[in-house]
Structure 1
């Protein structure tokens, strides 16, 4: 990263949508290796983990039976979840991410395992696939938190899903945004309005937006999903498991015992 763009300030603020929306690609390219060094062992190179609580698709079955299915992963990172699906019955899986750095890390995972996971660099708001191409689509904390216009993600996913297809996505639980991003006791007291929708933004010394993460209330998420023509089947709020002592950012056993950290929406496109 250029020295002029070293972090100078951070906080909740309004920034132009274009600047916030394009920051994600640069940030993930620059930080892919560091992110995987910190979290790669927990995520596994070919495991399907929905959230920092450690909920695994092998136990949750939120995608349903994927045997013979065409599956799309949006905001895949290094394609760990897609790699798992290829070994669990899916006929076709494509992992997409806006970050070339994360996909390059995925290629390294493939090389180490002697396998190939189909991957494509793509913005989740403009998926390069034909209508009705997939039976299932999902994202585990990908894309949605990092764009100002997540409604476009849902609309694009609805477009590429076949009628009856399923769309499942996990995000930071909206309730968390009222609390400091602290996994300890400091994170148990609300200090901000839940309804303050300004994104969390990191700004470089040059004034460039280096990172932006967007807050949506539960009602916002519901409204955007429904507007895309999708039907919500379930809202899953994983509880913090006993004996799970790993801290990940604002997630940890102290807060996890009292406050939800993740929301997982299970939806489908009507037939």
Structure 2
């Protein structure tokens, strides 16, 4: 039986199991579909197409110790390697996505450290990194994102920077459609019930979680972070591509991506 879509509760274990399986199954197709847009060695912060080369949100230096969580095929880590950062580690929940990362590494004769792990339980010592980042990785696909914030805080050294992009919270209120139908509010912004795709037996096969802008800020503050910036990138005129519900039509009137920039003070 085909999958159905519902809005229902989904805890950490069910969410992780579903999303690990989904990304394992879809990894090769995802990279084939979006590879040209993302590049092999580019850090693209979202469907709008703004890159780290343009925004410089990480402030990466050659001697920085950098961790990418929810790295997917590790395009961001590869970008950092290409600009001279040599101590970069890429992690992801999905072995399938990391296999795609290794294939791209092989084609470029690069051998990044790749590690499969859950972003809520990072297998690194305290204060191991100067920068941690993710571009649409981990955050939308984890039930307990407050735990991610605490783990990232733990592994960052004093002054270390945490930068992550995710679906802008306002998009939850609109249908995930790129055309005019996607410009009318259909759901409460404050309804945090997860989006769940499930098979005929009711087993989740894909899960996304919603947090409001205030929720995200409180998660960061509760973990101990100082928030430096929240970037809401506008849709650039150069980008005429549609990516799911992201499109030039919608991107010119409502934000599609939120990028949070924070640091560990102590």
Q: What range describes the TM-score normalised by the shorter chain of this pair?
A: over 0.9
Offset, 1:8: 2.8
Distance apart, 1:118 and its partner CA:
1.2
DSSP-derived class of the 1:75 partner: coil
Aligned residue in 1 for 2:133: 138
Unaligned runs of 5+ in 2: none
| Higher alpha-carbon deviation: 230-239 or 13-22 | 13-22
Structure-2 residue corresponding to 1:119: 114
Q: Which residue of 2 aligns with 1:88?
A: 83
Correspondence for 2:188: 193
Cα distance in 2 for partners of 1:187, 1:66 equals 40
Tell whether 2:151 aligns with 1:156: yes
1:3 aligned partner: none
Contact 1:7 1:202 in 2 (8 A): no
Measure, in 1, the Cα distance between the counterparts of 2:229 and 2:90.
24
Deviating beyond 6 angstroms after TM superposition, the runs of 4 or more aligned structure 1 residues are: none
User: Could you tell me which residue of structure 2 aligns to residue 18 of structure 1?
Assistant: 13
Deviations 1:33-82 (A, max 9, x none): 11111111100111110100001000100001322100000000010100
- What TM-score results when the alignment is normalised by the length of structure 2? 0.98
1:142 Cα offset (Å): 0.6
Q: Which runs of 5+ in 1 are unaligned?
A: 1-5
Are 1:263 and 2:265 counterparts?
no
Q: Give 2:27's aligned residue.
A: 32
Match of 2:96 in 1: 101
Question: 1:7 aligns to what SS in structure 2?
Answer: coil
Give, in whole Å, the separation in 2 of the partners of 1:58 and 1:118.
Answer: 22
Alignment match, 2:47 = 52
Q: CA deviation at 1:243?
A: 2.9
Q: CA RMSD in A?
A: 1.0
TM-score by length of 1: 0.96
Is residue 170 from structure 1 mapped to residue 134 from structure 2 by the alignment? no
Alpha-carbon deviations, 1:62-106, whole Å to 9, x = none? 001322100000000010100010111323000000100000000
Cα distance in structure 2, aligned partners of 1:20 and 1:91: 33
The aligned length equals 266
Distance 1:28 1:252 in 2: 23
Equivalence for 1:216:
211
Structure-2 separation of matches of 1:34 and 1:98: 17
Instruction: Show CA shifts across 1:218-270 (max 9, x none).
Output: 01101111111111100000000013110001101010010000000000000
